[in-house]
Amino acid sequence: MCGALGTWHTAGMTTAQGARARARAEITAAIKEAARRQLADEGAAKLSLRAVAREVGMVSSAVYRYFPSRDELLTELIIDAYDSLGEAAEQARDTAEDATPLARWTAVCEAARSWALAHPHEYALIYGSPVPGYSAPQTTVRAAARVGLALIGIVGDAREGTGLALPTLPAELRPEAERMAADFAPGLPVEAVPAMAAAWAQLFGLIGFEVFGQFHRVVEDREPFFRHAVRELARSVGIEE
Amino acid sequence: MCGALGTWHTAGMTTAQGARARARAEITAAIKEAARRQLADEGAAKLSLRAVAREVGMVSSAVYRYFPSRDELLTELIIDAYDSLGEAAEQARDTAEDATPLARWTAVCEAARSWALAHPHEYALIYGSPVPGYSAPQTTVRAAARVGLALIGIVGDAREGTGLALPTLPAELRPEAERMAADFAPGLPVEAVPAMAAAWAQLFGLIGFEVFGQFHRVVEDREPFFRHAVRELARSVGIEE
DNA sequence: GGAAAAATGAGAGCGGCGCTCTTGCTATGG
DNA sequence: CCATAGCAAGAGCGCCGCTCTCATTTTTCC
């Protein structure tokens, strides 16, 4: 009975389906925004679904239509944090595009540090203790890799210029180094790959100690200290001055 | 039947006040032990005073006679964790007393790593995100310093043997390096001090990435990787093979 | 166009949490 | 021997995550 025309594209289709979907997207975004604000203000431990609901003017049970649990909400914030940090790092890399490898390496490291100091709670969320049981599914890995990949890219470029000067690997480490190189750093000489992974972790060791207060009354003038450490880190992956 | 005044040598009590005080000490210890068990099992986030009270057979409000708040309890566990880790590190250092500086350096680093892998939740408590507002008062600093001091000691010894080969410091870092040296590494040449502080943070960067799963699907064969990284770390503070 | 189905939001409620306050009791110490 | 200080228990406050039910919209499909 309904005309042939009516079946698919009924009059209000875009408005109809779109309206509902868009409302949902907007509310989801509002919830995330409120959650992000709470996270930045008070930290992950104090982030509560009920408070978020209050802030967006909902009753708490309604939020569960949008996020199945508090931890799922947190997971989304984790991914956002990784992306925010990754973007800061990539932007620093691109801004220093024409500089020397050492300058670009330093720029990326300092961007990561600045981001962490500006967003300590987000930093804690991604590089501190895993919050619940934990919640790092496959979804987060891509976002999590961005800083590391930015650094790998710089080392790769440096290698094209001057050859990297690196110590030979111990035999016990060679197979693993080759696997790692094949998996995520195909452009790099095999000797550089474990050094890269170590430098990646060590960079966040330096940043984490500063953000979490471990350097309190130990290292006070932290910027020159960090710069120096990062320069040595560059040397350890074969970037020469 | 409050017996005569002789009450307190009947049951083998050593001191008068000792009876009540000892009971208090025992209960305090029992509470801490239960808390430690919960921490190891479930992590700091799930540690609840009520659950601890249940485990020691008390009502929750009674626990507040012994610890003024959950965070105070956690703070004590933090100190214990620092001490446990510090003791593991010092023991490794002392066991390798007659070995080369590099071997001793490696022993301490590997002891720290092993402790962290064996006690991930305790590790998260002390090197992960600060838990509440946070709670690192003056009480914790001494315990927190033990691993760092063990490493400083090794570098100091190495310096007495062969001279350390270290790059000169940038001028901007020199004053801070001299202050740091005066404050907590008086036996070390000034060039080694920032390198030491950096190596300290970087060591826990490596360990933290492993404990918190950041190396998942990135570094798989982690022992040789760690050994290699730690050897390079030793080089960075001037310990030669 | 109208009925069936799906989505949404409110409300009440469950069990658990940290923490406080009051109430009896008992060991302690003048 | 009695006043007191320390202690355990209980009730209770306000918060939390999460579930379930119920009424009210849309949306979908015939």
More reliable by pLDDT, B20 or A37: A37
pLDDT in tens, B96-151: 999 999 999 999 999 999 999 999 999 999 999 987 645 566 778 889 999 999 99
Instruction: Provide the pLDDT for residue A10.
Output: 35
In chain A, the residue whose alpha carbon lies closest to the alpha carbon of B133 is A42
Instruction: Provide the pLDDT for residue B3.
Output: 33
On the question of pLDDT at B156 being above 60, the answer is yes
Mean pLDDT, chain B, whole residue set: 89
- CB-to-strand D contacts below 7 angstroms: A 2, 6, 13, 16-17, 19-20, 47-51, 60-61, 64, 68-71; B 2, 20, 23-24, 27, 57-62, 65-66
Q: Taking a C-beta distance cutoff of 8 angstroms, is the pair B239, B102 a contact? A: yes
Using DSSP's 3-state secondary structure scheme, residue A129 falls into: coil
Total residues belonging to chain A? 241
Task: Give B24 CA → D3 C1' in Å.
Answer: 23
Q: Which stretches of chain A are DSSP H helices?
A: 13-42, 49-56, 60-63, 70-95, 101-118, 120-127, 138-144, 146-161, 174-184, 192-211, 222-236
Please tell me the distance from the alpha carbon of residue B172 to that of residue B195, in angstroms, as a whole number: 15
CB-CB neighbours of A160 under 10 Å? 9
| Residues of chain A neighbouring B43 (CB-CB closer than 8 A) | 129
Q: What structural domains does chain B harbor?
A: 14-67 (1.10.10), 78-236 (1.10.357.10)
Helix axis angle, A120-127 to A13-42, nearest 10°? 100
pLDDT class for B193, splitting at 50, 70, 90? very high
Tens digit of pLDDT per residue, chain A (241 long)?
333 333 333 333 344 467 788 999 999 999 999 999 999 999 999 999 999 999 999 999 999 999 999 999 999 999 999 999 999 999 999 999 999 999 999 999 999 999 999 999 999 999 999 876 455 667 788 899 999 999 999 999 887 766 567 888 999 999 999 999 999 999 899 999 999 999 999 999 999 999 999 999 999 999 999 999 999 999 999 998 7
Phi/psi class of residue B165: alpha, beta or left (left: φ > 0; alpha: ψ in -120 to 50)? beta
Please choose, from the candidates B222, B224, B216, B151, the residue with its C-alpha nearest in 3D space to the C-alpha of residue B188: B151
In a mutational test of the B interface, the residue from A74, A121, A176, A202 whose CB has the highest number of chain B CBs within 10 Å is A202
pLDDT class for B15, splitting at 50, 70, 90? very low
Helix axis angle, B101-118 to B146-161, nearest 10°? 170
What burial class does residue A133 get, using C-beta atoms within 10 Å of its C-beta: 0-12 exposed, 13-18 middle, 19+ buried?
exposed
Please tell me the distance from the alpha carbon of residue A140 to that of residue B128, in angstroms, as a whole number: 19
